[in-house]
Amino acid sequence: MVPCTFEGAVDMGPRFRGDGAGVWGEAMANAPLTGIKACVFDAYGTLFDFASAASRCPDVPADKMGALTALWRDKQLQYTWLRSLQKRHADFWQVTGDALDFALETLKLDRPGLRDTLMQLYLTLDAFPEVPSVLERLKRAGLRTAILSNGSPRMLDAAVKNAGLAELLDAVLSAEEVGTFKTSPQVYQLALDRLALKESEISFQSSNAWDAHAASAFGMRVVWCNRYGQRPERLPGKPDAEVTTLAELPDLVAAN
């Protein structure tokens, strides 16, 4: 059986209220975030659609596309966490390839050249439709913008250039600089050090609930972009706001 993805490539069901009331319903009511000087974004699943690699590959059978995307992503995340715990670091490109190998073998997708095609497509993932205009609004409002991702520098550089976002970002920060992966506090500290800002001056955006909670526990202000209808995690930290797309972000940080 293929496990369900943590990232919501499958239907995750109705969302749980973010106000702690314990009632199934809509997302939390969001209050504006004040004092924000920079908006820092996770990359994969937040700015870039990791599902677009398989969906743009004609050699992936339609009946296995969802399962491949889900399993590939699940193993990719699991390998980052396990390598961090073991202190056996490998960069995100290797981790992504290892996860893909596991998924292809599990799903019996052994077509010649398929692995190489999918890995190259991962370098040019589609940006979500609202991303360029959101970054433009934030920049016009005088806010700094950055990526903070597990992705290796090469992967992030390729994705940013492919999506035409280079001029809209002040910094692209890779966990490779500190030699471990999220949710290590060292990764979140990298954003503070490079932007020379305090935790409370950064709004961190992630579609990954575990990432959003970890950044909040670290001390950042956090907007959880719950693209996939996930339920809140039972982890330290709590996002300040929940949105369904990044289009809602500029109003939250007063970027009009």
pLDDT digits (tens, 9 = 90+) for 65-124: 999 999 999 999 999 999 999 999 999 999 999 999 999 999 999 889 999 999 999 999
What is the model's pLDDT at position 240? 97
What is the model's pLDDT at position 1? 41
Question: Does the structure show a pLDDT above 50 at 8?
Answer: no
What is the model's pLDDT at position 256? 53
Which residue in the block uniquely carries the two structure tokens 């990044």?
246
- Structure-block tokens of residue 152: 């290796």
CA separation for the pair 137, 86 (Å, rounded): 41
Question: Does the structure show a pLDDT above 60 at 141?
Answer: yes
CA separation for the pair 222, 41 (Å, rounded): 10
Question: Does the structure show a pLDDT above 60 at 21?
Answer: no
Classify 38-48+125-252 by CATH class: alpha beta
- Structure-block tokens of residue 8: 């919501």
Picking from 123, 5, 1, the residue whose alpha carbon sits closest to that of residue 57 is 123
Which residue in the block uniquely carries the two structure tokens 């949710």?
183
User: What values do phi and psi take at 41, rounded to 5?
Assistant: -120, 135
CA separation for the pair 98, 59 (Å, rounded): 19
CA separation for the pair 18, 193 (Å, rounded): 30
Mean pLDDT of the chain: 90
Share of the chain above pLDDT 90, in %: 85
Active centre residues (catalytic): 42
Domain edges within the chain:
38-48+125-252, 51-122
Which residue in the block uniquely carries the two structure tokens 């992504």?
96
CA separation for the pair 135, 249 (Å, rounded): 10
Question: Does the structure show a pLDDT above 60 at 148?
Answer: yes
Strands 171-174 and 241-243: unpaired
What is the model's pLDDT at position 254? 80
Q: Reply yes or no on domain 51-122 having CATH 1.10.150.240.
A: yes
Q: Bridge partners of 38?
A: 144, 202
What type of residue is 197?
A: L
